[in-house]
Amino acid sequence: MGGSAHALQGHPGPAFTGKMPVLREGVWGKAMEFRQKTLSNGVVLIGEVNPPAKSAAVGYFVRTGSRDETPEVNGVSHFLEHMLFKGTERLNSFQVNEAFDSRGAHFNAGTGEETTVYYASVLPEYLVEITELWAELMRPALREDDFTIEKNVIKEEIAMYQDMPASDVFSRCRSLHFGPYPCGYSVLGTNESIDALTAGQMREYFTRRYAPNNMIVACAGSFDWDRFCDVVESACGQWPRQDVGRPLSHFEGTKQKARADKANLKREHICLMHTGVSAQDPRRFAASLLGTIVGDDYGSRFYWELVDKALAEEASMHFGPMDGTGLFYCYLRCGTPNAAKVMDIAVGIFRDLVQEGITAEELTKAKNKVLSAVVLKNELPMGRLEDLGSNWMYLGEYRSIEQDVQAIKGVTVDDVNHLIRVIHLDSYTQFSLGPALSV
């Protein structure tokens, strides 16, 4: 991710009016034009026009997720994502699906701790219709009957992820790491919170969080900017503003350790969480490279010491930038008899990094991997849409692919080594999930 961070509320983006485009020379030698406009009610429109592209992608980015909930309504953001596909006063769920399907749209939505995104990629000739469709869905019917039925769907999804040890251990570790801090709330919620949730509570949350001044509409690829703006303004321009916000503060994590037995498990699943840097922090590029050096699938320190030596079946580390804070998270899967040895080796890797740092060779390899991923992802409008919306959502600014490429290339060994010392790799939260231990 090129950038990440800045609240929409209270952190306005650059003062573009939509009349003075910013031209960037594309990675492939093609001029891409960035445009931006803010409607009177606060909806932010951003676009990266790339005329040679053969498709277009549109996304509605809502700055809300489990972090913005309370324990009483935990899971409501994700539940709302489901409910939007149930339709509006004009359209039922079948008609919604048919409207996307008949135009060949590749569409979906996703809810996280901090954002809910609705997106689609289409042939350019259908972009206007799909943009209008999403706008209509942003004001769903939220019918009581649909709400009652969908509760069971949500609870089935909760059960499904609880049956996936990697997902379950991550969710539990996150809750342990953040403690009472809202970033630790489950995106799905719990059976108890979903059972107790009422349609009235959902409607109140929707009105407050799906506000125009808490939303970005982004488009990338081959499209007409002026036409796009007209469509969004016509559909969304009258929505009333709301008083929205999100308290931002860094959180170091609890550094607690816990383990739970789980029936039918044959392997040990271990999740570690370290303090990270925020999505706004310039050190996020160094943090991404550090995660690759320590825990990439191939050629990382975890790989050579744990996976290649057949001590662990999986050993990874990733950087998770967030709004105002961040974390690193590791996942280790191994036989329970090997768990202590695997942890000793992992801790030894952290200790060596603190004492000796990384090497220039490791940094070069990590840069090549990250750069390849960035460029390949951004070759298509759909991939470009994600970074376009996220950068404005978090940073309140446009970042070209070239800016991110140069930022990654500019990271030095000293940058990464300084970050290692600052984040205290030898201090972490740990949650383990595995079979019952014999006494």
pLDDT for residue 408:
98
pLDDT for residue 30:
55
pLDDT for residue 332:
98
Q: Domains along the chain?
A: 22-236 (3.30.830.10), 257-434 (3.30.830.10)
- Is 0.75 surpassed by the pTM of this model? yes
Measured torsion, CA atoms of residues 175, 177, 179, 181, in degrees rounded to the nearest 10: -90
| 211 HSE (CA, 13 A, CB side) | 18
Contact 406, 369 (CB under 8 A): no
Contact 199, 142 (CB under 8 A): yes
**Selection from 390, 99, 122, 429 nearest residue 275 by Cα:** 429
Q: Tens place of pLDDT for every residue, the chain, 439 residues? A: 333 322 222 222 322 223 333 334 444 445 689 999 999 999 999 999 999 999 999 999 999 999 999 999 999 999 999 999 999 999 999 999 999 999 999 999 999 999 999 999 999 999 999 999 999 999 999 999 999 999 999 999 999 999 999 999 999 999 999 998 999 999 999 999 999 999 999 999 999 999 999 999 999 999 999 999 999 999 999 999 999 988 888 889 999 999 999 989 999 999 999 999 999 999 999 999 999 999 999 999 999 999 999 999 999 999 999 999 999 999 999 999 999 999 999 999 999 999 999 999 999 999 999 999 999 999 999 999 999 999 999 999 999 999 999 999 999 999 999 999 999 998 999 999 999 987 5
- Helix (H) or strand (E) holding 46, with range, is strand 44-49
CA–CA distance, 214 with 63 (Å, rounded to integer): 6
Phi, psi of 320 (to 5 degrees): -120, 90
Contacts of 108 (CB under 8 A, 6+ apart): 119, 120
pLDDT for residue 180:
87
3-state secondary structure at position 411: coil
Residue showing tokens 């990590």: 366
User: For the sheet containing 257-261, what is the strand order?
Assistant: 257-261, 429-434, 267-275, 326-335, 314-321
pLDDT for residue 428:
97
- Provide the 8-state DSSP code for 92: B
Q: Which two tokens stand for residue 240?
A: 């009333």
pLDDT for residue 13:
30
